[in-house]
């Protein structure tokens, strides 16, 4: 795809698609609940469609209209042994969270994903699940897909997560919900808490005591209505676009503002961005409006507890930092190496091709601003977030950007180019 924007301004108002993490979980809880769940503003990206497909194969009736997804849940016991392989596509969330669900269901299932999933570590989930009694086999001792799950009765756990990961936490929560008695999960740093919030939304209970999450096993859920807020991880691309393009001001309505996800807003403030954030609702998930204008930015440091609150936004923050005066240093972000690609390497390599002064480190990167970017040939490497970073970069390049494998963007943001063209003036 050729991108030749001639350094435009951005203006206007959009609502980004529904949050990917919340969309996945709404299908999962809807399927496990008894009764009907109606989901509005669901993200129809490829990853979430993979989750729908897996639950249909498990016997759950799921209807799709333009406006809503309707899940006819039949409770934990309503899931049936699938007669074909569960294909999780490119979705780490689907693969890891479903392991926690399937580990405790009394049947056999097999899970496979795409080439990127086949490279991502699954032992971070299969190891704690095995300690609860799960029987999961897979390539390299259960480290990689394909995985075979023989569902069994599970025991409770007290598990300290070795890495800050919402996917590992959520998989263990799903297993703990099926065990008899109380389980405790301890987080090294707080990660996105959509699973915990959704337990409550579907009529269950969960306790949080500092870094401990306490789950009572044997809970059943009741179908409900879910409104999925706009995904702040998708909004991030246009926040950066408006901040770095000249004479711009855009408004992003109904964006999710859950504290565990708003690290990017903190970074924008640290860097001196011209923005306002207004909360409009705080029932269940917090929602609000973000207005962002062209900004004079300064370099910053991003590390520690902030990292899990913006992990998926780091590639686009790297682009932002190329347009800030001074150095931006990102530390403690080793987790980027096990995403759809090694996102430290891919973002550094691709931004360098456009003239950025950026260097990979063991646990992050150093970006020296401010750089004038030029055109060039880049690739998403099959990673949706890298594809979107490069498309946004093309707004400020002097010359055309040729983006290879832009189709990957449909994983989390099928309307991305439509929205980009709408905002470009
Ligand atoms: O689902 P997937 O492929 O793992 O998606 C990514 C993304 O960029 O969209 C990561 F590659 O988001 C993860 C996120 O990084 C989604 C997620 C969740 O919904 O629980 C949690 C984070 O992953 P982790 O490994 O830190 O738990």
User: How many domains would you assign to the chain?
Assistant: 2
Per-residue pLDDT band for 283 (boundaries 50, 70, 90) equals confident
CA distances from 359 to 179, 204, 225, 286 (A): 46, 46, 46, 36
| 221 class by beta-carbon count within 10 Å (0-12 exposed, 13-18 middle, 19+ buried) | buried
Q: Cβ(313) to ligand 1 under 6 A?
A: no
Per-residue pLDDT band for 270 (boundaries 50, 70, 90) equals very high
Average pLDDT over residues 347-360: 98
Q: Cβ(165) to ligand 1 under 6 A?
A: yes
Per the domain annotation, does 221 fall within a domain? no
Residues 48 and 111 in one domain: yes
Per-residue pLDDT band for 411 (boundaries 50, 70, 90) equals very high
Per the domain annotation, does 384 fall within a domain? yes
The answer to whether residue 160 scores a pLDDT higher than 90 is yes
Is 312 among the residues known to form the active site?
yes
Q: Cβ(193) to ligand 1 under 6 A?
A: no
CA–CA dist 403, 415 (Å, integer)? 17
Q: Which residues are annotated as a binding site for phosphoenolpyruvate?
A: 20, 92, 120, 167, 343, 385
Looking at 151, 182, 214, the residue that finishes a domain is 214
The answer to whether residue 322 scores a pLDDT higher than 90 is yes
Residues 80 and 163 in one domain: yes
Structure confidence by residue, pLDDT tens digits, 45-96: 999 999 999 999 999 999 999 999 999 999 999 999 999 999 999 999 999 9
Average pLDDT over residues 284-304: 97
The answer to whether residue 284 scores a pLDDT higher than 90 is no
Q: Among 135, 136, 129, which Cα is nearest to 156's?
A: 129
Q: Which atom of ligand 1 is nearest to the CA of 47?
A: 1
> What CATH number did the domain enclosing 381 receive?
3.65.10.10
CA–CA dist 75, 316 (Å, integer)? 40
Largest CA distance in the chain: 62
Q: Cβ(412) to ligand 1 under 6 A?
A: yes
Looking at 166, 191, 214, the residue that finishes a domain is 214
| 141 class by beta-carbon count within 10 Å (0-12 exposed, 13-18 middle, 19+ buried) | exposed
Per the domain annotation, does 224 fall within a domain? no
Residues 145 and 49 in one domain: yes
Residues 175 and 237 in one domain: no
Structure confidence by residue, pLDDT tens digits, 35-56: 999 999 999 999 999 999 999 9
Q: Which residue range is the domain that position 240 belongs to?
A: 2-17+229-423
CA–CA dist 122, 137 (Å, integer)? 11
- Residue 6 CA to ligand 1 centre (angstroms): 33
* Cβ-based neighbours of 421, under 8 Å, separated by 6 or more: none
Cut 0.85: pTM above it: yes
């Amino acid at each position: 795809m050729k991108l030749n924007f001639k350094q435009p301004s951005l203006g206007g108002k959009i609502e980004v698609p529904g949050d990917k993490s919340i969309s996945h979980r709404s299908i999962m809880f809807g399927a496990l609940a008894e009764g009907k769940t109606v989901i509005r503003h669901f993200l129809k990206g490829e990853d979430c469609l993979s989750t729908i497909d897996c639950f249909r194969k498990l016997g759950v009736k799921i209807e799709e209209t333009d406006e809503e997804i309707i899940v006819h849940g039949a409770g934990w016991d309503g899931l049936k042994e699938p007669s074909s392989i569960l294909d999780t596509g490119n979705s780490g969330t689907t693969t890891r969270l479903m392991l926690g669900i399937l580990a405790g269901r009394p049947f056999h299932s097999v899970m496979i994903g795409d080439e990127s999933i086949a490279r991502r570590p699954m032992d971070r989930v299969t190891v704690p699940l095995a300690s609860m009694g799960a029987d999961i086999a897979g390539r390299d001792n259960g480290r990689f897909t394909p995985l075979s799950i023989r569902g069994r009765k599970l025991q409770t756990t007290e598990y300290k997560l070795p890495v800050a990961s919402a996917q590992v936490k959520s998989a263990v929560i799903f297993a703990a919900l099926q065990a008899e008695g109380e389980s405790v999960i301890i987080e090294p740093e707080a990660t996105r808490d959509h699973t915990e919030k959704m337990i409550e939304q579907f009529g269950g209970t969960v306790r949080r005591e500092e870094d401990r999450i306490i789950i009572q096993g044997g809970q059943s859920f009741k179908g409900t209505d879910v409104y999925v807020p706009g995904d702040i991880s998708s909004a991030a691309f246009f926040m950066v676009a408006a901040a770095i393009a000249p004479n711009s001001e855009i408004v992003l309505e109904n964006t999710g503002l859950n504290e565990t996800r708003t690290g990017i807003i903190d970074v924008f403030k640290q860097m001196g961005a011209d923005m306002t954030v207004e909360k409009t609702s705080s029932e269940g998930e917090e929602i609000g409006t973000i207005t962002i204008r062209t900004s004079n930015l300064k370099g910053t440091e991003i590390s520690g507890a902030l990292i899990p609150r913006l992990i998926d936004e780091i590639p686009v923050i790297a682009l932002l930092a190329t347009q800030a005066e001074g150095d931006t240093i990102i530390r403690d972000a080793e987790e980027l190496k096990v995403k759809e690609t090694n996102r430290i390497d891919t973002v550094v390599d691709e931004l360098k091709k456009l003239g950025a002064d950026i260097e990979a480190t063991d646990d992050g990167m150093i970006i020296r601003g401010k750089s004038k970017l030029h055109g060039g040939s880049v690739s998403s490497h099959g990673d949706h977030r890298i594809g979107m970073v490069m498309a946004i970069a093309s707004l400020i390049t002097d010359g055309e950007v040729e983006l290879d494998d832009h189709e990957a963007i449909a994983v989390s943001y099928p309307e991305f180019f439509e929205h980009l063209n709408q905002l470009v003036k």
